[in-house]
Amino acid sequence: MLIHEQSQAGRRATAQAPKVKADLAGIPAHLRRDDVPGLPEVSEMQAVRHYTRLSQKNFSIDTEFYPLGSCTMKYNPRACNSLALLPGLVDRHPHAPDTHSQGFLACMYELQEMLKEVTGMKAVSLQPAAGAQGEFAGMAMIRAYHDSRNDDARTEVLVPDAAHGTNPATAVMCGYKVKEIPTRKDGDVDLEALKAAVGPQTAGIMLTNPSTLGVFERRIKEIARIVHEAGGLLYYDGANLNAILGKVRPGDMGFDVIHMNLHKTFSTPHGGGGPGAGPVGVSERLIPYLPVPMAGFDGSRYHWITEDDHPETIGRLTAFAGNAGVLIRAYVYARMLGREGMVRVSEYSTLNANYLMKKLEEAGFQLAFPGRRATHEFIVTLKKEAKEMGCNAMDFAKRLLDYGMHAPTTYFPLLVPECFLIEPTETEAPDALDGFVAAMRSIREEAQTNPELVKGAPHSLPVRRLDDVRAARELDLRWQASS
Amino acid sequence: MSNVPSDLKYTKSHEWVRDEGDGIVTVGITDHAQELLGDLVFVELPEVGASLDAGGDCAVVESVKAASDVYAPVGGEVLEINEELVDAPETINSDAYGDGWMFKLKLSDAGELGALLGAEAYAEHAENDDH
């Protein structure tokens, strides 16, 4: 039930009401509303109960195992949150001058430096407010680079077929045509196809490494050489940075631009559409185009670097400093980990993934890439179960919810039929991983003996199986007062 | 195994082609393709009169799982599209080779038909097409 549906005329909660009557004299009449806003009228207790109940219906990393592949749903340490709520940070006005923002600017500058160091890039801007915006900024910089050289024949961006859907979308948004590069059976990019595809029309390639198939692209140096020799640039999608943090650096692999999803790798809260943070890092030749403002340091004072200092910038992506609160949380996380801790993130996330992969394989589940070591995630295909038991990946996913676990990513990447993309992250203990294997075994038994139980799942949640088809075809997202 | 009628031609990207004679063909996606995609929710068709190149993307099918391009199996001009699909994309799920047809083409080069797969070759391809 929506809170609007609980509304009764005259109900009030005064705790949050303004204590001072606002003086409207300064606001011109045409800018004032003449009707009352349609807010729900409920008591304070009703509001508290409503939102508490809603929060209890959530599946979240704070309450359940959440192995949602490619999303890096790791635990968000509470310290990041409490420090981000320090009054000096929360109450800082975005228009406060540099002289009054030294602490905040120092945090932003140091975060830029740490991200630069851990990715091996030459400079970082924290502007983009999400991964998708980071991708856009990255491709816009590649475009600005080619434009600055009047190299306008470069109209094509190469994207492997295993890529996240955002990659081709970004290339198109930046005015490029997309050319798909196939993947070999072992999960690596098809180099022969790549060689055949590059040329004077190639603006660049967008790569996720490790790829969405849960394997490390072994011939990345070769790929970098082929694309660079053709005059194209390399874009690194940072979606899977968690697997390599502190171990290998995209800058050393030859990438020219990278976006990082701080809400994945740097443990800031995510899901529900934001807020995220998608900083971009670049190689030497793309530095002039970085989005502003960035934090600068002259050896004694911190300051904002703006269009005046950085005239070739692609511009601003957000009005102020990006999602400042998210950036602060990531900064605290990075500072708590330190250089040694960063390495442990990738070591334990890959160890957990490989442990879970091995256990599921022992339990008789089919791996999509047997023989390849997992990165921080891996793929199981439930093709056999779908065929023999009539219970497909979606049925298994829904049934997992009844077992108190969030489902892995289903039906992505599209290349693998009936797939589960499983990412346990480094913050889970072995017993949680064993619990997942036990649940999968148990669901497979149910699929054999009582398939209807699995096909009708979930049974224990506030809502049962949703009608995906109707949800996609009849969008109903807006509450309207019945008149 | 999904249904692969022997009188049709196929592509590796899971389109089927029916030769209607007089240089006209009907195109749709295979039963195997609809099975992989799951319940379809949207279909985007080419425009009548559009000129298609063999292998070019010309339509989109979107299911609850994924959106997928449909490629022109052969080159030609679009003569007719199955507008019923716009309101009832699920027709492809229930009758991929019949009422679920997508568009009709006037062939620009009848020789291109020879490059398509026969039913047996396609069935084998679909069976092994894990990636």
Q: In this structure, what CATH number is given to the domain that contains residue A216?
A: 3.40.640.10
Whether A290 is covered by a domain: the verdict is yes
**Same structural domain, A96 and A156:** yes
- Is B39–A473 a contact, with Cβ atoms under 8 angstroms apart? no
- State the pTM of this model: 0.89
Is residue A352 domain-shared with residue A295, that is, in the same domain? no
Task: Give the DSSP letter of residue A19.
Answer: S
Q: What does the alpha-carbon distance between residue A86 and residue A77 come to, in Å, rounded to a whole number?
A: 16
- For chain A, the average pLDDT equals 94
Residues of A in contact with B57 (CB under 8 A): none
Whether the CB of B88 is below 8 Å from some CB of chain A: the reply is: no
Domain-embedded: residue A66: no
Query: How many domains would you assign to chain A?
Result: 2
Same domain for A163 and A95, yes or no, is yes
- Give pLDDT tens digits for A122-162: 999 999 999 999 999 999 999 999 999 999 999 999 999 98
**End of a domain among A297, A316, A337?**
A337
Q: Are residues A215 and A109 in the same domain?
A: yes
Cα A264 to Cα A39, A278, A372, A425: the distances in Å are 35, 10, 24, 10
Which percentage of chain A shows pLDDT scores above 90? 82
User: Does B42 contact A472 at a Cβ distance shorter than 8 Å?
Assistant: yes
Q: Write the CA distances from A372 to A349, A360, A378, A384, A417, integer angstroms.
A: 16, 15, 10, 20, 18
For residue A462, is the peptide bond before it cis, meaning its omega torsion is within 30 degrees of 0? no
- Whether residue A15 is contained in a domain is answered as no
> Does some domain include residue A436?
yes
Query: What was the pLDDT predicted at A271?
Result: 62
Report the residue from B39, B68, B131 with minimal CB separation from A469: B39
CA–CA separation, A305 and A293 (whole Å): 5
Distance CA A219, CA A237 (A): 17
In a domain, A12, yes or no: no
Same domain as A378, residue A283: no
* Within a domain: A202: yes
With bands split at pLDDT 50, 70 and 90, how would you rate the model's confidence at A307? very high
CA of A468 to nearest chain B CA: how many angstroms apart? 6
Q: In chain A, positions 384-403, which contact chain B (CB-CB < 8 Å)?
A: 394
**CA–CA separation, A383 and A477 (whole Å):** 34
Which of A104-113, A340-349, A471-480, B41-50 is predicted with the least confidence, judged by mean pLDDT? Answer: A471-480
Q: Are residues A422 and A461 in contact, defined by beta-carbon separation less than 8 angstroms? A: no
Residue type, A103: G
Which domains are delineated in chain B? 13-122 (2.40.50.100)
Say if residue A272's pLDDT is above 70.
Answer: no
Is residue A230 located within the same domain as residue A98?
A: yes
Q: What is the pLDDT of residue B131?
A: 43
Chain A residue with CA closest to B35: the answer is A417
Chain A CA closest to residue B66:
A414
Residues A134 and A108 in one domain: yes
Q: Please state, for a pLDDT cut of 70, what percent of chain A lies above it.
A: 99
B42 neighbourhood in chain A, CB within 8 Å: 472-473
Query: Do A298 and A423 have their domain in common?
Result: no
Question: Partners of A235 in the beta sheet?
Answer: A206, A257
Bridge partner residues of A405 (DSSP): A65
pLDDT-based confidence at residue A287 (cuts at 50, 70, 90):
very high
C-alpha distance across the termini of chain B, in Å: 17
CATH of residue A452: 3.90.1150.10
- The answer on pLDDT for A273 being more than 70 is no
User: If pLDDT is split at 50, 70 and 90, which confidence band does A420 have?
Assistant: very high
Mean pLDDT of B79-103: 96
How much is the ipTM here? 0.75
Q: Do B64 and A469 touch (CB under 8 A)?
A: yes
- Give the pLDDT confidence score for residue A415 in this predicted structure: 83
Give mean pLDDT, residues A219-237: 96
- Report the pLDDT averaged over residues A461-465: 91
Mean pLDDT computed over A334-356 = 96
> For the segment A311-338, what is each residue's pLDDT rounded down to a tens digit?
999 999 998 989 999 999 999 999 999 9
The predicted model gives A427-443 an average pLDDT of 98
Whether residue A407 sits in one domain with residue A329: no
Strand segments (E) across B1-129: 9-10, 15-21, 24-29, 40-44, 51-52, 57-63, 67-71, 76-81, 103-107
Structure token pair of residue A304: 């904002």
**Strand ranges of the sheet holding B57-63, from the earlier edge strand across to the other edge:** B40-44, B57-63, B67-71
Residues A371 and A450 in one domain: yes
Q: Report which of A367, A440, A366, A431 is spatially closest to residue A399, judged by C-alpha positions.
A: A440
Residue A330: CB partners within 8 Å, gap ≥ 6? A80, A111, A262, A266, A267, A268, A277
The mean pLDDT value for A268-281 works out to 82
What's the whole-number mean pLDDT along residues A61-80?
93
Residue A480: band (very low, low, confident or very high) from pLDDT cuts 50, 70, 90: confident
- A20-24, A331-335, A374-378, A418-422: segment of lowest average pLDDT: A20-24
Whether A471 shows a pLDDT value over 60: the answer reads yes
The average pLDDT across A176-181 equals: 95
pLDDT at B1: 55
The boundaries of the domain holding residue A396 are 339-471
pLDDT digits (tens, 9 = 90+) for B94-108: 999 999 999 999 999
Q: Is A183 on the interface with B (CB under 8 A)?
A: yes
Banded model confidence at residue A470, pLDDT cuts 50, 70, 90: confident
Q: Is residue A408 part of a domain?
A: yes
Q: Is residue A476 part of a domain?
A: no
Q: What share of chain A is helix, strand, coil (3-state, %, to 5)?
A: 40, 10, 45
CA nearest to A236, candidates A287, A198, A279: A279
Final residue before a domain boundary, out of A309, A337, A365? A337
Q: Are residues A218 and A188 in the same domain?
A: yes
Q: What is the pLDDT of residues A354-407, one digit of tens each?
A: 999 999 999 999 999 998 999 999 999 999 999 999 999 999 999 999 999 999
Chain A residues with CB under 8 Å of B90 CB are 469
B64 touches chain A (CB under 8 A): yes
- The tokens describing B29, both together, are 């996606």
- A16, pLDDT greater than 80: no
